[in-house]
Amino acid sequence: MNVLVINAGSSSLKYQLMNPETGDVSAKGLCERIYIDGRLTHKVGDKKVEKEIAMPSHSEAIQAVLSILVDPVDGVIKSVDEIDAVGHRVLHGGMEFSESCIINDDVIKAIKKCIPLGPLHNPANLMGIEACQAVMPNTPQVAVFDTAFHMTMPPKAYRYAIPAEYYENDDIRRYGFHGTSHKYIARRAAALIGKTEFKMINCHLGNGSSLSAVKNGKCMDTSMGLSPLAGVPMGTRSGDIDACVVQFICNKYNMSVDDCLNMLNKKSGVLALSGVSSDFRDLEAGAANGNQDCVLALEKFYYEVAKYIGAYTAALNGIDVLTFTAGVGENGRDTRKAICEYLGFMGVKIDEEKNMVRGKEILISTPDSKVQVWVIPTNEELMIAQDTAELVNAAK
Ligand code: AMP
């Protein structure tokens, strides 16, 4: 089976053509500068092709992707009919979606209803869906939501302690993000340890970071909230912050709430603390050269992640497995070591040699550690392709 996985942004569109059973990717690429001029980067194995193609809308971008996939020289399939289904990443499923689903008119309406919750991403995701429907009207399309995995949280985890009317009238609550990644890691962890009933915390640490507390494969709590701004400090996001900071800054600097939120999303996090970079490699290099601001940025990050792990361990009444994934979680040896050092009190012990790994699936805890600690590279595209295949096969 061939599934085309699409992640449409406002001016870009990422794609992968993959086999959901084996995870083999036959081709992948990126359309950029949609609505401006248009550039396609297409990769098959090690071969990379770059083309300037006019992309006045997402529709031309999808057409460019389909054309190159069937191209006699750079393509990997003979006809578009060889694409059995399309899986779309959709950011916000609000309270409408607790799982992936086959796209029909009602689903489109419900995704539109979630636009106020995901004002930047949902319209772009919809453009990707509508463009695919226009050029491949007979191919089933599936929506996979970044929020869906977290919909099993109990009310005590997802409700904010604010007047009920904002929840009842406006759907204001914790949703959480990176759900496709958290779901993939929860499934991989279950396969790796050979159990379905266990308690785990997954640390998705990348440019954006979130943690989730998972019991028997179901999400019980997660660190991001109504938006991806909440939780631990990130590359450029502040993470959790007292709402009065917004009031203070807006009043003192005559700043709009939107501008203040832009600052908290794009100019904060480890970038702001270090004054150097949002990239952990730069922070580690800075700290190694004695830059104390880089040291503080890293220490703050380790401390806040460890605090969430402590909180979720209490929430789950103990854990069996701790997993690290995404750019920093998969590659950041110093980060994993520093976080695990905080967790000695709960019997976490890692093998320093095994922890030297980058980007590979491996158990890094010692045999006598009370908690298994794993590094598991995430694969959101594979999760999207698998959900898509499952739904399309079930509907046959
Ligand atoms: P992601 O958002 O999952 O793509 O993660 C991107 C982040 O991973 C980058 O901003 C880096 O900070 C981090 N990263 C990638 N490679 C390394 C590495 N070798 N050591 C530490 N951090 C890394």
- By three-state DSSP, how is residue 148 classified? helix
Nearest to 69 by CA among 31, 22, 20, 125: 31
- Establish if 278 belongs to a structural domain: yes
For the CA of 208, the closest atom of ligand 1 is: 2
How confident is the model at residue 120, as a pLDDT? 86
Known catalytic residue: 146? yes
Ligand 1: centre distance to CA 233 (Å): 15
Catalytic entry in 146, 170, 171, 258: 146
How confident is the model at residue 52, as a pLDDT? 97
Residues 79 and 200 in one domain: no
Residues 104 and 230 in one domain: no
CATH code for position 231: 3.30.420.40
In the chain, the DSSP E strands lie at 3-8, 13-18, 25-32, 39-44, 47-52, 85-90, 101-102, 141-145, 199-205, 209-215, 218-222, 321-325, 362-363, 372-375
Give the domain range for residue 133: 3-145
How confident is the model at residue 183, as a pLDDT? 98
Biggest alpha carbon–alpha carbon distance for the chain: 62
The residue whose C-alpha atom lies closest to atom 19 belonging to ligand 1 is 331
Ligand 1: centre distance to CA 370 (Å): 28
Residues 97 and 240 in one domain: no
Q: What is the rounded end-to-end Cα distance, in angstroms, of the chain?
A: 13
Residues 200 and 289 in one domain: yes
The residue whose C-alpha atom lies closest to atom 10 belonging to ligand 1 is 279
- Would you give per-residue pLDDT tens digits along the chain (396 residues)? 999 999 999 899 999 999 999 999 999 999 999 999 999 999 999 999 999 999 999 999 999 999 999 999 999 999 999 999 999 999 999 999 999 999 999 999 999 999 999 998 999 999 999 999 999 999 999 999 999 999 999 999 999 999 999 999 999 999 999 999 999 999 999 999 999 999 999 999 999 999 999 999 999 999 999 999 999 999 999 999 999 999 999 999 999 999 999 999 999 999 999 999 999 999 999 999 999 999 999 999 999 999 999 999 999 999 999 999 999 999 999 999 999 999 999 999 999 999 999 999 999 999 999 999 999 999 999 999 999 999 999 998
Q: How far apart are CA 225 and CA 205, in angstroms?
A: 16
- 194 conformational bin, left if phi > 0, alpha if psi -120 to 50, beta if neither: left
Ligand 1: centre distance to CA 171 (Å): 33
- Establish if 388 belongs to a structural domain: no
The residue whose C-alpha atom lies closest to atom 23 belonging to ligand 1 is 328
Virtual torsion, Cα 8, 14, 19, 22, nearest 10 deg: -110
Based on DSSP, count helices (H) and strands (E) in the chain, helices before strands. 14, 14
Total tally of structural domains belonging to the chain: 2
How confident is the model at residue 136, as a pLDDT? 94
List Cα–Cα distances, 323 to 68, 136, 257, 394, in angstroms.
Answer: 38, 39, 36, 31
How confident is the model at residue 10, as a pLDDT? 87
Report residues whose beta carbon is within 6 angstroms of any ligand 1 atom. 206-207, 235, 279-281, 326-328, 331-332, 358
Residues 207 and 106 in one domain: no
Ligand 1: centre distance to CA 205 (Å): 8
Name the residue of 280, 302, 376 whose CB sits within 8 Å of the most ligand 1 atoms, as the mutation to test its pocket: 280
- Establish if 152 belongs to a structural domain: no
Residues 135 and 205 in one domain: no
- By three-state DSSP, how is residue 111 classified? helix
Nearest to 334 by CA among 387, 285, 380: 285
pTM for the full predicted model: 0.96
Residues 256 and 116 in one domain: no
Ligand 1: centre distance to CA 328 (Å): 4
Residues 98 and 215 in one domain: no
Residues 218 and 290 in one domain: yes
Residues 276 and 349 in one domain: yes
For the CA of 280, the closest atom of ligand 1 is: 12
How confident is the model at residue 41, as a pLDDT? 98
- Establish if 395 belongs to a structural domain: no
The residue whose C-alpha atom lies closest to atom 18 belonging to ligand 1 is 331
How confident is the model at residue 294, as a pLDDT? 98
- Establish if 330 belongs to a structural domain: yes
Residues 127 and 220 in one domain: no
Ligand 1: centre distance to CA 165 (Å): 40
Ligand 1: centre distance to CA 272 (Å): 17
| Residue 55 DSSP code | -
Residues 126 and 210 in one domain: no
For the CA of 279, the closest atom of ligand 1 is: 12
The residue whose C-alpha atom lies closest to atom 9 belonging to ligand 1 is 279
Burial string for 132-167 (b: 16+ CB within 10 Å, else e) reads bbeebeebbbbbbbbbbbbbbbeeebbeeeeeeeeb
- Establish if 177 belongs to a structural domain: no
Which of 125, 145, 165 marks a domain boundary? 145
- Residue 105: exposed, middle, or buried by beta-carbon count in 10 A (0-12, 13-18, 19+)? exposed
Virtual torsion, Cα 205, 211, 213, 217, nearest 10 deg: -50
For the CA of 278, the closest atom of ligand 1 is: 10
- Establish if 154 belongs to a structural domain: no
- Establish if 141 belongs to a structural domain: yes
